[in-house]
Amino acid sequence: MTLAGSADPIDVEVGRRVRLLREQLHERQDDIAARARRYGLDWSRDIVWRVETGQRSLSVGEGLRLAQALDVDLDKLTEPARELLNRERGEGFDEMPARPSDAEFKAARKLGVTPRDVVSAAHSLWGRSLADERDRRVAEHAEHGSTSRTLQARRGHVTRALTTELATHIDKMKGKKPCEEASSSGGPATQLSTGRRTPPPGEPSKSGAAVSRRRGKRSGS
């Protein structure tokens, strides 16, 4: 048995993902143990707890069976661990997913950038995909027994916050500067604030023309 203080970081990452998937299913550790037993794993609640806390490694066979029990692909179960290995090797965006997720496509449309920009920014900011960071934050603040509606609302709130973070980071990555049109000298800002057209040089303003007409009437009377 591996001591908690010396747990393998890979096991810790896999355990966090198992916990996240369990919380998304709104199930207890006993429920996951029951799922695992249906797929041939002689698991108890204690084993699930040790896996989730990184104190127990999974064999390849256990990983495959657990992924089936949780109704996910093995890649989904091991993705955070693979990302950790990539960071330890000093590898960057070449190891990112070949195809952005739906979450990244939606964020890209909203921000007016490419999905690859979103993927790059997400991995630069959080070391994981947008969807994984969203799920991590949702699970971090989720309360036991939360309804699907509550989780959906929380997911939407988190997604909006993450999109804002991405927008700021992408602007920095591309070297964009804040728009300065509103503070520039000249007519546009004044015209927008007053709603009046500034006459060209030499052309009398409407107020000046009106004053001239009134003076003409008084002199002719």
Q: Which amino acid is at 111?
A: L
pLDDT at 67: 93
HSE-CB at 187 with a 13 A cutoff on CA atoms is 8
Low-confidence ranges of the chain (pLDDT < 50): 1-5, 91-95, 178-196, 211
pLDDT at 40: 95
DSSP 199: P
pLDDT at 201: 52
pLDDT at 84: 75
Taking the CA atoms of 136, 105, 156 and 121 in sequence, report the sign of the dihedral they define: positive
pLDDT at 31: 94
pLDDT at 183: 39
Range list of H helices, the chain: 9-24, 29-38, 45-52, 60-69, 74-88, 102-111, 115-126, 130-141, 148-174, 187-194, 206-220
pLDDT at 6: 60
- Given a contact cutoff of 8 angstroms between Cβ atoms, the answer to whether 14 and 72 are in contact is no
Which residue segments constitute the domains of the chain, with CATH numbers given? 1-91 (1.10.260.40), 97-177 (no CATH)
Burial letters 117-137, b for 16+ CB under 10 A, else e: bbbbbbbebbebbbbbbbbbb
Tokens, residue 2: 């591996």
pLDDT at 125: 83
pLDDT at 185: 39
